[in-house]
Amino acid sequence: MTTLREEVCTLLQEFGLPAVRVEPVSAEVIEFNGLFSSLITLINMAAPLDHRLWFVEGVLPHITRADRARWEAALAARTPVQVQVAFKSVDGQVLDFEMRSSAPAAQKKLGQSILCVFIPYTNPFFERVHAAHLSEGRALERCRIRNELHKGVSQQLLGAAFGCRLLAGKVVKLSEELGKEASDLAELLNEAVLELQNLVQSGENQG
């Protein structure tokens, strides 16, 4: 089951923001989203880090001494704080972020933890990572819509067409003209189903 704190990181991911929850004393990582993982990968040193140390070894060294002192003092007082983090990618590019930290509002429910959200300043390098995540999200949404059209709307139209054909068979005994209209409607619905299926198939091929 997804917990409330996991949902917070997931929600921030949807907004395109790297996020991580850490222990208030050790600063060991408790939870993180995919964008934070991508960010750590961009700035990773020679060998992969233990994910529990991603914040201590991958974030804190990139905060100035003065900002780090201010960050620690604010969190000791359980008040929100904003500091600048200047990462450097493995190929030497500077990635500037504003890190906003606070204890979640529902602290008693979530347990003791600090939520840190990274807001990127304009940076083409990170924007490519961000764009990749957004593109993946759009692709998943298109896939969901295609499935819904295929399994939901298409089946409903087929059911309506079948019902019209049954109705046409009964009505034609009373009125040949009405029976023909019902039969034409069934044919129209069948054509709509075929067009819809072709549209879904075309979207799958383009995807």
- pLDDT tens digits, 145-170: 666 666 666 677 777 777 777 887 88
What is the distance between the alpha carbons of residues 16 and 135, in angstroms, rounded to a whole number?
A: 11
Pairing verdict, β 29-32 and 19-22? antiparallel
What is the distance between the alpha carbons of residues 147 and 136, in angstroms, rounded to a whole number?
A: 17
Q: Residue 142 carries which side chain, given as an amino acid letter?
A: R
Higher pLDDT pick, 9 / 153: 9
Q: CATH topology for 4-121?
A: Beta-Lactamase (3.30.450)
Mean pLDDT of the region 8-21: 86
CA 182 to the chain's CA centroid = 46
91-95: long-range pairs with CB below 8 Å, 24+? 93/123, 93/125, 94/123, 95/39, 95/42, 95/43, 95/120, 95/123, 95/125, 95/126
Residue 117 predicted with pLDDT over 90: yes
- pLDDT tier at 55 (50, 70, 90 boundaries)? very high
Sequence-distant (≥ 6) Cβ neighbours of residue 88 within 8 angstroms: 43, 62, 94, 95
pTM check: above 0.85: no
On whether the CB atoms of residues 13 and 33 are closer than 8 A, the answer is yes
